[in-house]
Amino acid sequence: MDHLPQATVVPPKRSRISVIWIIPLLAAVVAIGIAVQRYLAEGPTIVIVFTAAEGIEAGKTPIKYKDVNIGQVTAVRLTNDYAKVEITAKIDKHAAGLMVEDAKFWVVRPQISLSGVSGLSTLLSGNYIGFEPGKSTDSTRIFIGLDVPPVVSGVAGREFILTTGDLGSLSIGSPIYYRRVQVGQVTGYELQPDGKSIQVKIFVHAPYDKYVTTSTRFWNASGIDVSVGADGINVHTESLVAVLVGGLAFDVPPFMAAGEAAPVDQVFALFSDNATAMKAPDPVAKRYVLHFDESVRGLSVGAPVSLLGLTAGEVTSVGLEVDTARGDIRPRVEIVWYPERIVALGNVKGAAKSEVIIQDEQKRREFIRKLVEERGLRAQLRSGSLITGQLYVSLDYHPNSPKVKLDFNKSTPEIPVVPSPLADLEAKVGSIVDKIDRMPLEAIGKDIRKDLENLDETLTSAKKLINRADEQLMPGLKTDIEDLQRTLQAVERAMNNANASLLEPNAAMQEDLRNALNEFTRAARSLRVLTDELERQPSSLIRGKTEPSGGK
């Protein structure tokens, strides 16, 4: 047993790694490094949900912010309920910090409207997705895209909110004016849940946003503001753009302090027009009723109420009232009268006394009672414009009017009225028209036509007489003038020979001169007879010479 062979342990031989495996290993390490590097270099992947995806293509459509590509669309598909479009996009690493909750996305496409032209660059490059960063610090990867692009993006300024009961012609992009300078736009609007008001969102660019203060008032400057009232026709507009697409305007009323700068999203009331927005409020307003016994056609709500010719109130209601005691229907007009304006108009002397009258209800009533009962203050309808036919209410003194008692125990005291001068004017005009209607105009016209015919015949006869006078009288007058001319020539010849033979005794020239003088005397006598005849009968030039009565 001792001579049995002993087992010898031989250590295993080490296997050598083939060089051929080094290359794949290195390639795998490089690939992993590239993948890690790419993963670290890539930004987040986000999902944007749109109502429609017009012009959006995977792998082609970029996402732009300030005209710089910050991402690209990688996939476009419908949502699970097939109602909307889900767009997947890869965002660049450097823009990852912009992907916060209130970030906005929208599709940029060419748009032409009355308020302007946008997106023209997409005609060549195609549609793209626009982006506007938010102010939130919470990041997210799912966004809801905007159906309507924002009007302003990346512009300094502030947003405000206006409330109104009627949108009018306003739309997104409508301009906003400050002293006729465009300083902003309407960015959106929505109907409130109660259905009674509309909330309008606006944006005012910097540095003009500093003019929007807590005292600012906004009004609708859309189109052409044409108001027809007792003061006539007033036309007002901000610009031609406002006429076409609507617009807003704002300013601080002159009776208010400028106030502090309004914070972002400050809510303002939107007034219907400039006059309403700039109107000063009257803290003390007293209502009165007027009962007229005449037509109130032309009197409308808002018509002025004047006190001694100056505006001191306005009409608040115009209607009809059944008077059961009289068994009649009569017009009922309610007016509001502002006692504070009495001081402003200077109708009460002394500021201290005026303030007491305004603040003390009893003294104010007593003051108005004296005006009505003792001074004869009455209300009267008057015409504010003959062109528009609008009426207004005038409060003036009529001391000869019947005495009345002012009853302040009624909820709305009644101020007595006097008839309008328009009624008397209409009656007089009606009377004149009736007289004209009763006139025999047709017979008068016939008489005038007959007289014109007679006048025409008279003129024709006169023309014939003149022609006959030319034929009968003028030849005789012409002959007399020719005879006178021949006589003067003979006298001239005689005077030329006077030096030679006139002075000789029994000269033949003396006889000739004597004959010439006799001829001249006869011619002068004939001319005098003709002159006397024309003086006695000037009409003989037209009618000819008439024989004396009784002559044959």
Q: How does pLDDT run across 195-237, given as a tens digit for each residue?
A: 889 999 999 999 999 999 999 999 988 755 555 555 555 655 5
Q: Domain count for the chain, please give it.
A: 4
> What pLDDT sits at residue 122?
60
- Single out the residue of 199, 249, 239 nearest to residue 114, CA to CA: 239
At 458-515, the pLDDT tens digits run 777 767 766 766 666 566 666 766 766 776 676 666 666 655 554 555 555 556 666 6
| End residue of a domain, out of 232, 247, 277 | 277
Provide the angle, in degrees to the nearest 10, between the axes of the packed helices 361-373 and 351-359. 100
Task: Single out the residue of 164, 389, 411 nearest to residue 288, CA to CA.
Answer: 411
Residues 270 and 291 in one domain: no
Q: Do you know the residue count of the chain?
A: 552
119 with 194, same domain: the answer is no
- pLDDT for 291 equals 87
Does a structural domain hold residue 252?
A: yes
Last residue of a domain, one of 431, 462, 492: 431
52 & 167 share domain: no
The per-residue pLDDT for range 328-337, each reduced to its tens digit, is 888 899 988 7
CB atoms within 10 A of CB 300: 15
pLDDT (average), residues 389-396: 86
Q: Do the domain assignments include residue 506?
A: yes
CA 345 centroid distance within chain: 30
* In a domain? residue 300: yes
Which pLDDT tens digit goes with each residue over 510-542?
A: 566 666 666 667 766 666 666 666 666 655 555
pLDDT of residue 262: 92
How far apart are the C-alpha atoms of 162 and 164, rounded to whole Å? 7
The kind and range of the H/E element at 184 are strand 181-191
pLDDT-derived band at 250, boundaries 50, 70, 90:
very high
Do 137 and 64 have their domain in common? yes
- Choosing from 277, 306, 326, the residue where a domain stops is 277
Q: Please check whether residues 300 and 413 belong to one and the same domain.
A: yes
pLDDT score recorded for residue 8: 62
Residue 533: the pLDDT is 67
- Does residue 187 sit in the same domain as residue 211? yes
Residue whose token pair is 């007058």? 477
**Across the strands, what pairs with 328?**
323
From residue 545, alpha-carbon distances to 170, 458, 481 in Å are: 95, 21, 19
- pTM for the model stands at 0.50
Q: Which two tokens stand for residue 403?
A: 């005495």
The H or E element containing residue 452 is helix 441-496
Whether residue 327 sits in one domain with residue 258: no
Euclidean distance between CA atoms 65 and 43, whole angstroms:
15
Work out the average pLDDT over 381-404. Answer: 83
Query: Do 349 and 311 sit in the same domain of this protein?
Result: yes
Which residues in 324-361 are b (16+ Cβ under 10 Å) and which e? eeeeeeebbbebbbbbbbbbeeeeeeeeeebeebbeee
Give the distance, in angstroms, between the CA of residue 459 and the centroid of all CA atoms in the same chain.
Answer: 60
Residues 293 and 412 in one domain: yes
User: Is there a domain that residue 227 lies in?
Assistant: yes
Helix, strand or coil, per DSSP, at residue 295: coil
Residue 189 in any domain: the answer is: yes
Residue 476 belongs to a domain: yes
Q: Are residues 536 and 452 in the same domain?
A: yes
**Residue at 16 is within a domain:** no
Q: Which among 530, 545, 541 has a CA at the least distance from the CA of 465?
A: 541
Average pLDDT in the 442-454 region?
75
- Domain assignment of residue 494, given as a range: 442-543
Count other C-beta atoms under 10 Å from residue 372's C-beta. 20
Are residues 164 and 258 located together in one domain of the fold? yes
Q: Which of 286, 285, 291, 314 is nearest to 414 (CA)?
A: 291
Other C-beta atoms lying within 10 Å of the C-beta of residue 54 = 10
d(CA 351, CA 349): 7
Name the helix (H) or strand (E) containing 370: helix 361-373
Work out the percent of the chain whose per-residue pLDDT is above 90: 18
Residue pair 45/88 in contact by the 8 Å Cβ criterion: yes
Higher-pLDDT residue of 532, 450: 450
Is 263 within the bounds of a domain? yes
Mark whether 293 and 417 lie in a shared domain. Answer: yes
Average pLDDT, the chain: 77
Return the pLDDT at 351: 47
